Structure 1
Amino acid sequence: MTTEVLAQAADINKGLAAIGYGTSAIGAAIGVGLIWAAVINGTARQPEARGQLMSIGWTTFVLAELLALIGLVVFFIAQ
């Protein structure tokens, strides 16, 4: 009985997985654009804070891309 439940839980529709990956990629792209726009804007307003803004920018960039990578992993698991 437990194997049937696990098999049903692991049986994700492949089309739904592709839509999920596409959504996570679009979300990450929008997030990255907003992150770097804020870094550029902040640097233009206060040039002496460039180093701190860049470190925050790279950290949040990695987090945004991690979401896209998780979406890719889930997509391949569903295959």
Structure 2
Amino acid sequence: MASMTASNGMPILRRDGDPFFNHLHPETILMVQVTQECLADVFGSDGSADQDLKALRDNLEAILKVVDAKSCR
């Protein structure tokens, strides 16, 4: 499986099959978990670990925009 790091250099890990990583946000650290279903339905992953990581990497900026918007609620 390809190795990958998040925006803060922390590794991308897996929990229950879904990739997750810690994201530095002002005054806090958020754990971001992106479901395999989201990666497949929204970003076109075929469900394999390598394709999940590619979809996450290719769309990290868009994913982080959603994370930042949701964390401000």
TM-score range, shorter chain: under 0.3
Identify the structure with the greater helix proportion. Answer: 1
TM-score normalised to the size of structure 2?
0.27
Q: Relative contact order (alpha carbons < 8 A, sep ≥ 6): 1 or 2 greater?
A: 1
TM-score normalised to the size of structure 1?
0.26
